[in-house]
Amino acid sequence: MPSYDPKNIFAKILRGELPSYKVYEDDKAFAFLDIMPRAPGHALVLPKAPARNVFDVSPDDFAHVMGVAQRVAKAAMKAFEADGVTLQQFNEGAGGQVVFHLHVHVIPRKTGVAMKPPAAEKEKPEVLARNAKKLAAAIAAG
């Protein structure tokens, strides 16, 4: 497996070199909106420590990221009046991974509404800003 590349786009977001629509941060994890959402409120949860994917992440960091994903999922149900949430996590190109810093997708779902295809369309900045504010508030409310 290739080694971790610190030039990947999520590493740049984590270092603050690129902007993001942040919804949550603690000492070990960071969460922000996917700019090409498969449904409104689609968020990504990352470990802050470098990890390419499930094959090199520490079990502790992976468990922490899943705990944060659970918290984001519960908040997304309220913030977006969702009927369910889809969690996705891809590993290596053959596993569907495109950005090589481990991340968990948290995708709010409505009954009968299909997800858009992956990375189909960039959402408008004002929509992302509004959704990030709603989700961040719901996460903070716990």
Residues that bind ligand DGP (CB under 6 A): 9, 20, 32-36, 90, 96-99, 103, 118-119
101 is catalytic: no
Q: Is 13 or 82 the residue whose CB approaches ligand DGP more closely?
A: 13
Q: How far apart are CA 11 and CA 114, in angstroms?
A: 30
Nearest residue to ligand DGP by CB is: 98
Shortest Å, Cβ 36 to ligand DGP? 4
Q: Is 2 or 142 the residue whose CB approaches ligand DGP more closely?
A: 2
Shortest Å, Cβ 118 to ligand DGP? 6
The SS3 call for residue 133 is helix
Tokens at 26, concatenated: 């603690």
Q: Is 94 or 141 the residue whose CB approaches ligand DGP more closely?
A: 94
The single residue of 42, 64, 103, 105 carrying the catalytic annotation is 103
Q: Is 71 or 101 the residue whose CB approaches ligand DGP more closely?
A: 101
Q: How far apart are CA 31 and CA 47, in angstroms?
A: 9
Shortest Å, Cβ 113 to ligand DGP? 17
Shortest Å, Cβ 69 to ligand DGP? 13
Q: For the purposes of burial, counting CB atoms within 10 Å of the CB of 55, is it exposed (0-12), middle (13-18) or buried (19 or more)?
A: exposed
Residues contacting residue 29 through CB under 8 Å, at least 6 positions apart: 45, 46, 47, 48, 64, 65, 68
Max CA pair span of the chain: 40
Q: Any idea which residues carry the catalytic annotation? A: 103
